[in-house]
Structure 1
Amino acid sequence: MTADRVVLAREREQGELRRLVGAGDLRRVRRGGYVVGLGDGPGDGRVAGDVAAALAHVAVVHRQLRAPHVISHGSAALLWRLPVWRVPAVTHVRQASSMSGTRSADVGRHVGLPTSWVEVDGIPVTTLEQTVVDCLLTMPALDGLVVADGALRQGLRLDEVRERLAALTQRNGRARAGLVLSLADAGAESAWETWLRYLALHAGLPRPTTQWAVRTHAGVYRADLGWPEHRVLAEFDGQVKYTDGAFGAAYSGRRALVEEKRREDAIAEALGVRPVRFMASDARRPEAAVRRLVSRFPSAVTTHLHPDRHLALHPAPAR
């Protein structure tokens, strides 16, 4: 969603706005702000729709604000096309002051303009590194890890993030932010793969190998997570890939299911074990999902496990 697709009520006559909305050419996003079509967000289904709506809200808020500002926190993550565990309910902005008297429930204001920022889709936004810092400091651990994993895949400069965290005068949240940053891994290819790794980290299991390459008679296959020394594999099974047309009109969900069965059989033959699989529904009961994962490990590993209290478990939001 680019800023040039925003139409403000102060720029048009009310009669024209009503006509355009009625014809479906404009969509109202918030009071006084409209967009020409929502566009598409990353992901699939409901999540993609929620992201598209949030990006439209960001674009409208940007156009409506007259004072200098920079989009930040989770809203900046969306502009950077980073994965998010929860789509932000408000648009986050940094401004020179709190702008008392201009508060809106759908805008989260943070005092202090950054010394540097970039432009994405015609909108001022915090740098990738500052975006990650803000998210790590203000989001729950899992949410921050999802953002950090995605940022690593986009070339995040880890040293700069560490320096920014170390330079903070505030102590609240800094230690946990540093911990979560140390756990980030570019091998997670989706928010759900991050969630699965987070379960293992919460449980106190050894840090897994992401995208573990398994050599089989049918070729090399990659597992989402693996512990080669224990011959344990774990995978997130996104059901959308088994849906016809999910990735284009010619896409066959049945063919994908057959290929997945062939892949799993080849891995099982090579290693003597099958991956333990998780689906989105498992996130409603994360403690049970952790128990399933831990049960695959030998007692020498599980006897002395201690859950990490800094990595709390919460049921997943509706997705």
Structure 2
Amino acid sequence: MGRVTTGTTAVPASPQAGSREPVVTDHVTDGPHGDLRVRVYEPAPGVERRAGLVWAHGGAFMHGDLDMHEADGVARSLARHGVVVASVDYRLCPPIDYRAPGAAAAQAPDAVRFPVASEELTSAFGWARDAGFGVVPERWSIGGASAGGNLAAGVSLRLRDAGGPQPRSVVLAYPVAHDGLPEPRPELAAKLATLAPERNFPPEAVRALNANYLGHEGPATSPYAFPGGQDLRGLPPTFVLNSDHDALRSSGEAYAAELAAAGVDVLLVREDGTYHGHLNQPDDPGCARSLARIAAWLTTDALVGTAHEPPTA
């Protein structure tokens, strides 16, 4: 998989004896767009390695890093349950004020756009699966939160179409799966009407974010940019975890329904009482509940189905 250098992160990489804290190392791989950093969280010595997960944080395609709780906190929690987590530092789009009226894609020379982050996450999955870190290749899943959920869902389509090794499963936390948000159900619309502006993602704001990710207004030309509404047959079992008071829930729910209609085994959960990005809110009880659900999905075979027949030509 190319050049790999390894070093410890700023936190101790060697936990004390008897600790369940993970061993954390930074790796630099030869990604498709240059050096790609991947932070690997391995379970503490003595903890069984039960599964692997390649994980992408959220941040509207333009924010976020490996130190945020949605990356570091998620990975540490899962590693304590025996999951090796490879957290990917994918390249980000230029920032915009997506809540401003008439917001549009940033006009920046050499700006990162689709498909850069999507291709980087694809590369990281192949690297982690091949490296193994004590997990057999068939036990590796891929996942992400919010924009990272979009990337993970798109990569699952890429891997299916490439005809190579598939993830064991896909984990999507409050993903933006569609180019435009589906109409919310009345129950969700009533909750969104009570949200403070900084907590809400109205359709025009999501359109601006998506245009910034693509680099242009209008629909995407690739099915891997927004997998909602695409041919989803033959994808791996998928866990869709939505926040409760969240405009993006309409996309997560619609995508789960599309998966089921395509014959994909899917688990859909709405974490009661939570807001968008709740995996980045460690003091929210819903964060701990969701992390326990993800750990159970990754390590308990009875929860996960199987990948069924691929699409026919």
| TM-score normalized by the length of structure 2 | 0.29
Give the structure with the larger helix fraction: 1
| TM-score normalized by the length of structure 1 | 0.28
